[in-house]
Chains A and B, each alone.
Chain A
Amino acid sequence: MPTSRSEFLSGVRAELPILLGVIPFGLIYGALARGAGIPAGPALAMSSVVFAGSAQFIGAELIRSSAPALLIVLTTFVVNLRHALYSASVAPHVKHLSSRWKWLLAYLLTDEAYAVTITHYMEKSDPTHKHWFFLGAGLALWGSWQSSTAVGVFLGASVPASWSLDFTLAVTFIALVVPALKDWAGLAAALSAGLVAVLAAGLPLKLGLFLAALIGIVAGLMVEGLRET
């Protein structure tokens, strides 16, 4: 039977491959934020206060162009809307936890931690300590995001683009999605979301991603509805 400690360590381990892609991203953010004229203190603080990669990139860009604060906050809201879907998706699994746990786990609910955590929640194993897996995955990501950001801020270091480490995120998501495609409804959700994301890639602020996710969910429900009637 998994213990809290073994779940925590499994969460850290599950997150490790994704970190390969996250660390270069953090280095680039750090260098870019300094390049945008943000002092080292706030540039670093953004990684712990906001803790959301794409919103931080867009935020740094907007701060550089001296956009009004309200616009930057609104943009962040739109860019991070997809996290509401993640929040709803993990909600049934964390329902029994204390508020303190929920507040902590909500802070750690990024794309990368969500991906491995929800996969683990869906496995048919003893769910007693699965929130420790969530915590392990979330903290592993948090630690590497903070440290890679700091290196980027202070050294401006970067990883050669030819290594293509950013691709590890895509292949990790493939590794999580493909084995979970167990029926036509799931396949319809994945395919239509992927297709819409490609077609709507031109939309600003990651709205294409949000739209694609919604259409994928509706497509999955419709195919499931067809099967039932």
Chain B
Amino acid sequence: MTLWLTLLGMGLVTYAIRLSMMVLLERVTIPNRMRQALRFVPLAVLSAIFVPELLLPAGHVDLSPGNARLWAGLLAIVAAGLTRNVLLTIAVGMGALWILQAVLR
């Protein structure tokens, strides 16, 4: 019973957070300053998720040539800049990772 209540509590707080701003910002005109700030949300959050995946694959900073994720990620960044194509970038990044892992092993 406690377990189910815990689950329900976890679900409710998660849902409340996700719904919060959609409802709070419903009737107000969003100030210009905030609109500017919101433009940076995806860039900031997504970078904060992927950069550590490249630099700390094992939980500590690894800039060595043996860090396959770092080099594969850098190649993916180049591919994304040049092609602006999501699928191609994923193919380059994953392909590079598999080749580097095979070579570096």
Residues of A within 8 A of B (CB): 14, 17, 38, 42, 45-46, 49-52, 55, 59, 63, 69-70, 72-73, 76-77, 80-92, 94-95, 102-103, 105-107, 109, 111, 114-115, 118-119, 122, 162, 164, 167-181, 185-186, 189-198, 201, 208-209, 212-217, 220-221, 224
Sample (13) of A-B pairs whose CB atoms are under 8 Å apart? A49-B10, A80-B14, A92-B30, A111-B45, A173-B47, A175-B85, A180-B43, A209-B49, A212-B47, A216-B43, A216-B47, A217-B40, A220-B44
Q: Which of B50-79 contact A (CB under 8 A)?
A: 50-56, 59, 61, 69, 72-73, 76-77
Question: Which 3 residue pairs are nearest across A and B when measured between Cβ atoms?
Answer: A216-B44, A194-B51, A171-B93
**Contacting residues, chain A, for B49 (C-beta < 8 A):** 111, 169-170, 173, 197, 209
Q: Could you tell me the distance in whole angstroms from the C-beta of B6 to the nearest C-beta in chain A? A: 4
Query: Which of the residues B42, B77, B84 comes within 8 Å of A118, measured between beta carbons?
Result: B42
Given A73-B13, A178-B89, A201-B56, 9 additional A-B pairs, CB 8 A: A73-B6, A85-B41, A87-B22, A92-B35, A102-B19, A106-B18, A164-B98, A193-B45, A217-B40
User: Measuring CB to CB, which residues of chain B are less than 8 angstroms from any residue of chain A?
Assistant: 2-11, 13-15, 17-26, 30, 33-56, 59, 61, 69, 72-73, 76-77, 80-81, 84-87, 89-90, 92-94, 97-98, 101
CB B39 to nearest CB in A, in angstroms, measures 7
Q: Which residues of A contact B43 (CB under 8 A)?
A: 177, 180-181, 186, 189-190, 193, 216, 220
In the complex, are the beta carbons of A83 and B46 less than 8 A apart?
no
Contacts of A169 in B (CB 8 A): 49-50, 53
State the main secondary structure of chain B at its contact with A.
helix
Residues on B with C-beta less than 8 A from A173 are 46-47, 49-50
Q: Which of B42, B54, B76, B97 is within 8 Å of A115, CB to CB?
A: B42
Which of chain B's residues have a CB closer than 8 A to the CB of A186?
Answer: 39-40, 43
In the docked arrangement, what's the CA distance between A119 and B72, Å? 23
Once A189-B44, A194-B48 are accepted as A-B contacts, the answer to whether A103 and B19 lie under 8 Å apart by CB is: yes
What residue of chain A has the Cβ atom nearest to residue B54's Cβ?
A170
Q: In the assembled complex, which residues on chain B have CB atoms less than 8 Å from the CB atom of A42?
A: 3-4, 7
